[in-house]
Structure 1
Amino acid sequence: MPEPISQTEYWNGEVGERWARMQAELDRVFAPLTEDFLGRLALRPGEHALDIGCGCGETALLAAARLGLGGSVTAVDVSRPMLDRARARPHAGAPITWIEADAQTHPFAPRHDLALSRFGVMFFDQSEAAFANIRRGLRGGGRLAILCWRGLAENAWVALPRAAVLTVVPEPEPMPPGSPGPFRFADPGEVAGVLARAGFAAVATQPVDHALVLGQDAAEAARFALTVGPVSALLRDLDPALRERAAEVVRAAMPQAGPVRLAAACWLVTAVNPG
């Protein structure tokens, strides 16, 4: 069995390059969640924001537009391919500083009013230490807001294609508790405990639910599901014939009439740096 690779290696390899190529499509699919997330943050003109796991830059760009020229955004990610894509995108509003670094250890200046992350904090190797480091980048009274996935069963956009693929390939061994992964913080009590131990106060959790349009038809939706996200990992080492068989069963499992809309369920978790 090959040695596991680090998250930095993972997001700087083929996966990061694939996500960078699919930036526009990913932003389109996740747009309902992104807009809801940013709409709940009460961003104020002139504030200084820290975007953790900024990826191809969508949340940083949208935050910059809301903060205006008097504000700023510091956007950090470990993935060079995605940061290259982010830097190439036009933007208006607050200046953005793009940083290729690991938010778990990068020495952030303690000047930010808000640290935000859309689907970026579930991949930390050491969650408690990572959040403690992020807290040090906030001024006293600064806010934290993260959007993370609830459980697999509530996320049909993943669960449906995953169940179909598992009729073709064996189910993988479960990861040890606390391992990096998309559903790392499906349990709200888990993330609340991690944040409290990292020094945050006033931790609160709200559900965020939307239907995502994966594609305009079953074929387009299946291609999206099998190219990005948790299901794509199940196909990584398949031979071409088995990969095509998996694609066939996922296409067949998708709703067959009109745009494919599947449920997505997240937590919005907020907290405060007490100083």
Structure 2
Amino acid sequence: MAAPDLTQAEYWNGEAGRRWARHQATFDAVFTPLTERLFGRADLQSGDIVLDIGCGAGATTLRAAEAVGPTGRVTAADVSAPLLAVTAERVAARPAGGAAIDLVEADAQTHAFAPGTFDRVISRFGIMFFDDSLAAFANLLGALREGGRLAVLCWRTLPENAWIAHPLDLVQSLVPEPAPTPPDAPGPFRFAAAERLADILAAAGFRDIAFAAVDEALMLGRSETGDARAAAEEAATFSLDLGPASRLVRDQAPEIRAQAFARVQHAFEARAQDGVVRLDAACWLVTATR
């Protein structure tokens, strides 16, 4: 989530975007169950033309390209140049003969996509950060062909997402309390209340709007030897270096960071089973048609 004094573009083109780009493989692995759920409902067909919003480091773009095959096409849009650079590397490294992939560094809220072009619009956690959600979804509606379909993931409430809430609870007493986020400000839990997004989609002109609750346990850490402490160390590193809790501790004094890490590792070690630390994630999988 961007700091209050930064735009989303500034945030994702700065240190946050570079950090996500460096650790792309870790994020892809953690979010694998959620990616599978998205594509289980996206209904991509051979030859489809797909728009991937907030494509990040390209995991969903490459998966979409596989689904639509050599007669299809995927446009991957993101505001982050560092993440798009990783996507470009991954696209260049794939075998020849797949779907064409176009990369667009742009804000999907305002970018002039060719009208009526896309059969599908997909997004894995890229829709919660628009400055003007209604304008953004109206723009995406215009990019879809008649009968085209939207399929996106967004987070449900913080308490339902233990993978975020648990480490946050553990470290909050060590650091200054963060400023509260206004309810409709860009942020991960912007659409935790399904009605808010449903109203926006309807106002933008979408129909057949449906919400499916998605619940998955995310694997935050794993030890090949089954060692609980090693798995907990990996999970704590993810949570405090890369996950949402990292913003609370990253700029703290070394002794505070050490205390936070010790707390989270100890708690995760108690939760480890067979050398794996898993915590629950809760999302909405939202579909709609033009």
TM-score by shorter chain over 0.5: yes
| SS of residue paired to 1:175 | coil
AA aligned opposite 2:79: V
Shift of 1:3: 6.4
Is residue 259 of structure 1 aligned with residue 276 of structure 2? yes
Cα 1:180–1:3 shift into 2, 3 Å = closer
* Counterpart among 91, 96, 100 of residue 94 in structure 2: 91
Contact kept in structure 1, 2:48 and 2:119, CA below 8 Å: yes
Task: State the distance in 1 between where 2:4 and 2:248 align.
Answer: 17
Equivalence for 2:225: none
Contact kept in structure 2, 1:148 and 1:185, CA below 8 Å: yes
Equivalence for 1:80: 81
1:178-197 matches, cutoff 5 A = 178-197=184-203
Contact kept in structure 2, 1:65 and 1:91, CA below 8 Å: no
Is residue 168 of structure 1 aligned with residue 171 of structure 2? no
Equivalence for 2:60: 59
Task: State the distance in 2 between where 1:148 and 1:60 align.
Answer: 17
Unaligned 5+ runs, structure 2 = 223-230
Equivalence for 2:264: 250
Equivalence for 1:21: 22
AA aligned opposite 1:239: A
1:88-167 matches, cutoff 5 A = 88-89=89-90, 90-91=93-94, 93-110=98-115, 111-167=117-173
Contact kept in structure 2, 1:182 and 1:230, CA below 8 Å: no
Task: State the distance in 2 between where 1:72 and 1:31 align.
Answer: 23
- TM-score, length of structure 1 as denominator length: 0.96
Equivalence for 1:215: 221
User: For 1:143-201, what per-residue CA distance to the aligned partner results, in whole angstroms no more than 9, with x for missing partners?
Assistant: 11110111111111001100001121132121111011111111111110111111111
Shift of 1:213: 0.5
Task: State the distance in 2 between where 1:3 and 1:262 align.
Answer: 28
Contact kept in structure 2, 1:48 and 1:71, CA below 8 Å: yes
Number of residue equivalences: 272
Contact kept in structure 1, 2:241 and 2:250, CA below 8 Å: no
Contact kept in structure 1, 2:130 and 2:186, CA below 8 Å: yes
Task: State the distance in 2 between where 1:142 and 1:128 align.
Answer: 18
Contact kept in structure 1, 2:31 and 2:218, CA below 8 Å: yes
Task: State the distance in 1 between where 2:262 and 2:213 align.
Answer: 33
Task: State the distance in 2 between where 1:266 and 1:75 align.
Answer: 22
| SS of residue paired to 2:264 | helix
Equivalence for 2:249: 235
* Counterpart among 210, 214, 225 of residue 239 in structure 2: 225
Contact kept in structure 2, 1:12 and 1:80, CA below 8 Å: yes
Is residue 205 of structure 1 aligned with residue 206 of structure 2? no
Task: State the distance in 2 between where 1:3 and 1:173 align.
Answer: 9
What percent of counterpart residues are identical? 56
- After TM superposition, which residue ranges in structure 1, 4 or more long, deviate above 4 angstroms? none
Task: State the distance in 2 between where 1:249 and 1:171 align.
Answer: 18
Unaligned 5+ runs, structure 1 = none
| SS of residue paired to 1:230 | coil
Task: State the distance in 1 between where 2:188 and 2:148 align.
Answer: 26
Shift of 1:99: 0.7
Task: State the distance in 2 between where 1:255 and 1:194 align.
Answer: 42
